[in-house]
Amino acid sequence: MPAIDAPLILTLSLDEKTFEYFNTLRQKHFPPERNYLDAHFTLFHHLPGSEFDSIAATLAARAHAQHPMAMRVAGLQFLGRGVAFALEAPEAEALHRELQAVWREQLTPQDQQRRRPHVTIQNKVTPAAARELHEQLSASFEPFEATGTGLQLWAYRNGPWELLRSFAFGA
């Protein structure tokens, strides 16, 4: 595939049960006029589309050598104007640091930072609405296990994302 004329986003694929749980909540609680995509776990927000071939090659090799990643959905985060689920994902964080080192010269300041793994299910609402959902979900939340199953590379299209390629772990 040739260079892409848009920034690239890298996400971690989640096991089907976990994805469906998060996505159902996102469809219910994210403002519909702003909800262009499904629930996701972002690893990088802005990789250069001009480097698509190189980035895809790196991801294909890395995913091939990677087994599925265990993680824990540990709690809820109040975001001020939204709600997210906090994840404890040491292997995903190690992969993120490894890829940061590989792509150091190409990263935006946001992608150079240490991450706080999460999946956002609500954003861009009033603080009162966000607090209400946070309290509602927190009342019955129990931590649970999840699995990272691969990587997905997307083109950012000023709102919607276009899936360019998926890389299953161990494939």
pLDDT in tens, the chain (171 residues): 567 889 999 999 999 999 999 999 999 999 888 888 899 999 999 999 999 999 999 999 999 999 999 999 999 999 999 999 999 999 999 999 999 999 999 998 889 988 889 999 999 999 999 999 999 999 999 999 999 999 999 999 887 899 999 999 986
d(CA 59, CA 82): 31
d(CA 98, CA 113): 13
d(CA 21, CA 10): 21
Q: For residue range 119-154, what is the model confidence (pLDDT) as tens digits?
A: 999 999 999 999 999 999 999 999 999 999 999 999
Amino acid 2: pLDDT: 62
- What is the C-alpha radius of gyration for the chain, rounded to an integer number of angstroms? 16
pTM of the model: 0.92
Amino acid 70: pLDDT: 97
Amino acid 129: pLDDT: 95
On the CB side of 11, CA atoms within 13 Å amount to: 23
Amino acid 89: pLDDT: 96
Amino acid 32: pLDDT: 83
Amino acid 1: pLDDT: 58
